[in-house]
Amino acid sequence: METKTVWETYSYETKRECEGFCKEYMDFLSRAKTERECIAAFRQQLEADGYRPLGFYQKERKGLGPGDKVYEVHMDKTLVAFHIGSQPMEDGMNILAAHLDSPRLDLKQAPLYEKEGLVYLDTHYYGGIKKYQWVSMPLALHGVVIKEDGQRVELTMGEEPREPVFFISDLLIHLAQEQMKKKAEKVIEGEQLDVIIGSRELEPILRLLEEKYGITEEDFFSAEIEVVPAGQAREAGLDRSMVLAYGQDDKVCAYGACRAFIEDETPQRTDCLLLVDKEEIGSVGATGMESGFFENMVAEVLSLMEKGKEAVWLSTRRCLSKSRMLSADVNSGFDPTFGDCFEGKNSSYLGRGMVLSKFSGSSGKSGGNDANPEFIAYLRRIFGEKRIMFQMAELGKVDLGGGGTIAYIPARYGMEVVDCGIAVLNMHAPWEAADKGDIYEMKRGMSAFLTAKNNH
């Protein structure tokens, strides 16, 4: 099979579009590091394109019809949007889905303490991380504190060049003879991931929090503060071919999906954008894919469209079962340094375009989604027409590990779902790498999926 890179196939014009797109993507990554910040950014993009919250249509008693644009945000951490198509929604939707949460360190609810004059914030890590990667690097704090009276204080500390950053200490090499003999999972342990925020005792820090942010120690009880790598998304490589940034899993797919969604101006089938939280800890909770939010919103939209017709629950079921979904998440790009963890023929490679994974899961495909060949053939056809470069890949060698995505959850409705995404290097590390050509090609692939005529 031919192994051209996306970049080789792009015209001068397309290369410029790709560069422009990636620049906007990097700007987004630099300011949206948490789920809430992503939701705020996407809400802004949707509003600017004429999308209105569900409540707007409900209050106006306007009903919904072809061409209408509606979205809803749930608990500031998950979002669904619909661009109503000219065909009945009961015939199904074209859905782009991705997740917004990324591995990180969350502050505990009683995080503050002092030891020998050093002041710490205690953390509990979120998602799959290699703990040793998080020490001795600049860290930032992002999050919200909800005061007892409901007042909400939003925090970002450590991102502006003149703002102070935070860090977790590592043992100096001179005294690390015992540490260096430990297994990688024990070199730094969960309880050692405590962030240093000062070296002049606790009292002045408490005063500073009170004066500058109006936060008391007890306010951390009702706070969600995430510790993330400080700093902006960067171009990587002498050829500037890549993006190195925190949280590309899975913000790269979320960003591409939102852009492709907004760009489709006259959908035949209804377009749907679904951005969820909590994928990294098993899609659980009210804002994860397991939540009833998505299904409820489909029912709400249908109830505004089909008054007096059959029971909404039935049309909701019909709509969902006839839908098609690209469940977008990053794939483990082939890494020559660790080549023996991959099986070359069925791996994704940086620069070779969008990735389709027929199945996910671990050991015997356990816990994964397995897409139908009929659906993959359909995608090959529409990608072929738009000359979208794609590669087929699984997550690595059989029996070395594996992983799941959200794909198996919507598949329960009986819809066609396939995993897709792009190759990244050092997935789940504080800084993840992706190829610019892939980033743009995935967006093009998502657009091709949404705009495909329904006569396929």
The residue ranges that bind Mn ion (CB under 5 A) are: 249-250, 329
Rounded to whole angstroms, the Cα distance separating 103 from 124 reads 11
Cβ nearer to Mn ion, comparing 89 with 427: 427
Are 439 and 344 spatial neighbours (Cβ–Cβ below 8 Å)?
no
Cβ nearer to Mn ion, comparing 76 with 249: 249
Phi first, then psi, for residue 43 (nearest 5°) are: -60, -45
Cβ nearer to Mn ion, comparing 329 with 416: 329
Residue 99 Cβ vs Mn ion, minimum distance, rounded to whole Å: 6
Residue 280 Cβ vs Mn ion, minimum distance, rounded to whole Å: 5
Residue 9 Cβ vs Mn ion, minimum distance, rounded to whole Å: 27
Rounded to whole angstroms, the Cα distance separating 325 from 379 reads 11
Residue 75 Ramachandran class (φ > 0 left, ψ -120 to 50 alpha, else beta): left
Residue 332 β-bridge partners: 424
Task: Report strand pairing: 52-53 vs 69-74.
Answer: parallel
Using DSSP's 3-state secondary structure scheme, residue 97 falls into: strand
Residue 449 Cβ vs Mn ion, minimum distance, rounded to whole Å: 19
Cβ nearer to Mn ion, comparing 300 with 329: 329
Residue 237 Cβ vs Mn ion, minimum distance, rounded to whole Å: 23
Cβ nearer to Mn ion, comparing 80 with 100: 100
Residue 279 Cβ vs Mn ion, minimum distance, rounded to whole Å: 6
Give the 3-state secondary structure percentages of the chain, helix then strand then coil, rounded to 5.
35, 25, 35
**Nearest alpha-carbon partner for 252 in 25, 446, 21:** 25
**Nearest alpha-carbon partner for 422 in 444, 449, 455, 397:** 444
Rounded to whole angstroms, the Cα distance separating 252 from 333 reads 14
Residues 6+ apart with CB under 8 A from 184: 130, 132
Residue 153 Cβ vs Mn ion, minimum distance, rounded to whole Å: 29
Cβ nearer to Mn ion, comparing 319 with 393: 393
Residue 234 β-bridge partners: 244
Cβ nearer to Mn ion, comparing 159 with 329: 329
Q: What is the DSSP letter of 286?
A: T
Cβ nearer to Mn ion, comparing 322 with 428: 428
Residue 253 Cβ vs Mn ion, minimum distance, rounded to whole Å: 8
Rounded to whole angstroms, the Cα distance separating 408 from 218 reads 40
Residue 131 Cβ vs Mn ion, minimum distance, rounded to whole Å: 16
**Nearest alpha-carbon partner for 168 in 188, 195, 187:** 195
Residues 6+ apart with CB under 8 A from 261: 81, 83, 96, 271, 273, 446, 450
Cβ nearer to Mn ion, comparing 83 with 104: 104
C-alpha separations of 330 from 77, 262, 429, 446 in Å: 20, 21, 13, 14
Cβ nearer to Mn ion, comparing 267 with 404: 404
Residue 420 Cβ vs Mn ion, minimum distance, rounded to whole Å: 12
